[in-house]
Amino acid sequence: MLEFQVEDMTCGHCVSTITKAIKGADANASVEVDLAKHLVRVEGSAGGEEIADAIREAGYTPVPSK
Ligand SMILES: [Cu+2]
């Protein structure tokens, strides 16, 4: 499982943008978001860099936390 801290993810719109971006990089990924803690958890086949790039391209700043 991959986990990212995304401090600039602040509302439901951010959550859906980020979720879509991750699924664009890995269609079968399961994405779990804890908005209050600004955490994004991803279970899938893509690597951490690939997922981080997708989040960055969506305009957010992921910091790997695991
Ligand atoms: Cu937002």
Average pLDDT per run of 10 along the chain, which is 66 residues long?
Answer: 97 98 97 98 97 98 91
CA of 17 to the centre of ligand 1 (A): 8
CA of 44 to the centre of ligand 1 (A): 24
Question: What are the residues whose beta carbon lies below 5 Å from ligand 1 (ion)?
Answer: 10-11, 13-14
CA of 45 to the centre of ligand 1 (A): 26
CA of 14 to the centre of ligand 1 (A): 4
Residue 64: the pLDDT is: 95
Report whether CATH 3.40.50.150 matches the domain 2-64.
no
The angle that helices 12-25 and 48-57 make with each other, rounded to 10 degrees, is 130
